[in-house]
């Protein structure tokens, strides 16, 4: 017989489990397979003999405890023969601090527990974002006091990458949206013979609301996500840590140029979107409603006040700041795995678009109350 072994003897109504030597974690699996080969329900009595056992660790004690619980649950009588106090103490210790997995499962399914954890997570994310904003504004104040620290070359590079290369998609999107709105409006206006009012609707809606929103959404999907992916990749490859080690502030070298570049160029993109949207409305008005270019422009200068153009342009820097800030923040919170880049890039786009819409709603309420 081996030094450590399990011997199972069977009688008519009784079965005995005799443990010898040492019972440790490394033997639990083999003993479990051996015990599973017997159907204990056909026996009236189970005898567990530990008198020949020299050592029992906690893993083995947990196994024995679970086995006894199973016998008790199936109403099978059992008896433990053990004269060694240290072995019994180990078994009692495991029984005393045994964790009921079913209760843990129930507690995890508790809705209040879920709400509490979700609230704490959201609060932690919010405080991290506030900390990021604090660092960002302190860096901006430093740049204002030390204008020589502005990295003009990097700002022009980001203007080219983030905005100038986006002119095509912004112009095309705005043109198509203008076409759709003009066509849908033309159908309704023809019914009432109010063809000329298409100029009012296209002019005011594009200049004041649609062009800024369309531009912001396109930039959020294009440039905001690029900021997140770029900075997230730099964090994974430890380039940000290398910059700090060499004495370069990532906020000064990466964050500020991106934000300033976007705040400068988004108003220009909105202006281009204005032109393309109104051009689309002009084409539809000419083809579908018979309004000539001269009539369109004459009516446009009469009814569309310049303030609508200024309001749309005024929104640009605010939208740009929100998009750039959220995109950069999401890049900085990327964890050390590629899956986190995809997750935060998606969140960057969604949160940027949501923030832009909320900001636009606040502007609409404020301008309406001010009579602008």
Using pLDDT thresholds of 50, 70 and 90, give the confidence band for residue 315: very high
Spell out the domain ranges in the chain.
Answer: 5-98, 150-370
CA distance 69 to 76: 10
- What's the whole-number mean pLDDT along residues 37-43? 75
Give 298's DSSP letter.
Answer: H
- For the domain 5-98, what is the CATH code? 3.30.750.24
Q: Are 178 and 206 in contact (CB under 8 A)?
A: yes
Residue owning tokens 């302190």:
138
Using pLDDT thresholds of 50, 70 and 90, give the confidence band for residue 265: very high
Give the pairing type, strands 53-56 and 14-23: parallel
* The pLDDT of residue 109: 57
**Buried-exposed string 278-293: b where 16+ CB fall within 10 A, e elsewhere:** bbbbbbbbeebbebee
The DSSP H or E segment spanning 21 is strand 14-23
pLDDT at 140 over 70: yes
Q: Are 257 and 139 in contact (CB under 8 A)?
A: no
- What's the whole-number mean pLDDT along residues 127-141? 83
Write down the mean pLDDT value for the chain. Answer: 85
pTM: predicted TM-score of the whole model, two decimal places: 0.67
* The pLDDT of residue 78: 82
CA distance 153 to 159: 10
CA distance 301 to 317: 26
CA distances from 326 to 135, 151, 221 (A): 14, 21, 12
Q: pLDDT tens digits, residue range 58-117?
A: 888 888 888 888 888 877 888 888 888 888 888 888 777 765 555 545 555 567 777 888
pLDDT at 1 over 50: no
* The pLDDT of residue 212: 94
Give the pairing type, strands 5-10 and 14-23: antiparallel
CA distance 364 to 263: 20
pLDDT at 316 over 80: yes
Using pLDDT thresholds of 50, 70 and 90, give the confidence band for residue 278: very high
pLDDT at 370 over 90: no
pLDDT at 361 over 60: yes
- What's the whole-number mean pLDDT along residues 335-345? 84
pLDDT at 132 over 80: yes
Q: Are 273 and 215 in contact (CB under 8 A)?
A: yes
Q: Are 65 and 93 in contact (CB under 8 A)?
A: no
Highest mean pLDDT among 26-30, 256-260, 271-275, 289-293: 271-275
* The pLDDT of residue 353: 94
Structure tokens at 127: 């405080």
* The pLDDT of residue 71: 81
pLDDT at 164 over 90: no
Say which residues have a Cβ less than 8 Å from residue 192's Cβ, sequence separation at least 6.
Answer: none
Direct distance between the N- and C-terminal alpha carbons of the chain, in angstroms, rounded to an integer: 97
* The pLDDT of residue 59: 84
Q: How many CB atoms lie within 10 A of CB 133?
A: 12
Q: pLDDT tens digits, residue range 210-221?
A: 999 999 999 999
């Amino acid at each position: 017989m081996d030094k450590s072994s399990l011997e199972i003897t069977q009688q008519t109504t009784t079965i005995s489990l005799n443990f010898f030597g040492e019972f440790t974690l490394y033997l639990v699996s083999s003993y479990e397979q051996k015990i599973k080969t017997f159907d204990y329900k056909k026996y009236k009595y189970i005898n567990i003999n530990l008198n020949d056992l020299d050592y029992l660790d906690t893993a083995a004690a947990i196994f024995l405890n679970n086995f006894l619980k199973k016998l008790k649950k199936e109403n099978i009588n059992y008896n433990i023969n053990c004269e060694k106090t240290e072995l019994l103490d180990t078994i009692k210790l495991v029984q005393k601090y045994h964790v009921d997995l079913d209760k843990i499962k129930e507690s995890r399914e508790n809705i209040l527990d879920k709400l509490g954890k979700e609230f704490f997570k959201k609060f932690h994310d919010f405080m991290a974002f506030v900390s990021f904003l604090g660092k960002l504004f302190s860096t901006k104040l430093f740049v204002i006091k030390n204008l020589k620290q502005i990295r003009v070359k990097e700002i022009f590079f980001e203007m080219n990458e983030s905005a100038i290369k986006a002119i095509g998609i912004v112009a095309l999107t705005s043109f198509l949206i203008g076409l759709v709105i003009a066509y849908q409006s033309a159908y309704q206006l023809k019914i009432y013979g109010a063809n000329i009012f298409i100029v009012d609707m296209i002019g005011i809606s594009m200049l004041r609301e649609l062009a800024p929103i369309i531009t912001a959404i396109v930039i959020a999907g294009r440039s905001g996500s690029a900021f997140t992916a770029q900075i997230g990749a730099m964090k994974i490859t430890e380039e940000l840590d290398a910059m700090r080690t060499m004495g370069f502030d990532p906020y000064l070298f990466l964050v500020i140029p991106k934000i300033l570049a976007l705040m400068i160029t988004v108003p220009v993109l909105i202006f281009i979107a204005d032109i393309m949207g109104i051009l689309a409305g002009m084409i539809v008005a000419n083809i579908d409603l018979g309004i000539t270019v001269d009539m369109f422009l004459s009516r446009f200068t009469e009814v569309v006040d310049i303030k609508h153009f200024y309001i749309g342009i005024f929104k640009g820097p605010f939208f740009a700041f929100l998009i750039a800030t959220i995109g950069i923040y999401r890049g900085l919170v990327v964890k050390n795995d590629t899956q986190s880049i995809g997750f935060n890039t998606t969140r960057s786009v969604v949160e940027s678009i949501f923030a832009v819409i909320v900001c636009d709603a606040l502007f609409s309420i404020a301008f309406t109350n001010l009579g602008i």
